[in-house]
Amino acid sequence: MESTIVMAFAVGLLAVCIIGKIVKLSIETLLKFVSNSIIGAVMLFIVNLFGLNLNITIWKALFAGIFGIPGVIAIIVWEKFIAG
C-alpha cells in the first residue's frame, strides 16, 4: 500500500514539474513575441516619420520585430510596390 502511494506521489510531482516547464516556456515565448511586436511597432513608427504612411498592424509589428530591419524593408516593399 505504501509503495503505491509513494509511486503516485512521484508521478504526480513529475507531472506538476512538466506542466510547470510548459507553462513557463509558453509565458516566456509570449513575452518574447510581445516585446518583439513593440520593437517592430516602434521601428514602423520611425519609418512613418519619414513620410511613408504605413498602416501599423499587430502582424506587421510582429513581423518587423522578429525580422528586424530586413522585416521593415520587406513591409515597405510590400506596401508600396506589391500591394498597392
Quick: pLDDT tens for 16-69.
Answer: 888 888 888 788 888 888 888 888 888 989 999 998 888 888 888 888 888 888
CA distance 63 to 60: 5
| pTM for the model | 0.67
pLDDT category at 80 given cuts 50, 70, 90 is: confident
What are the angstrom distances between the C-alpha of 13 and each of 19, 46, 52? 10, 49, 55
Q: Which domain holds residue 60?
A: 2-82
- When divided into structural domains, the chain yields a total of 1
CA distance 32 to 70: 19
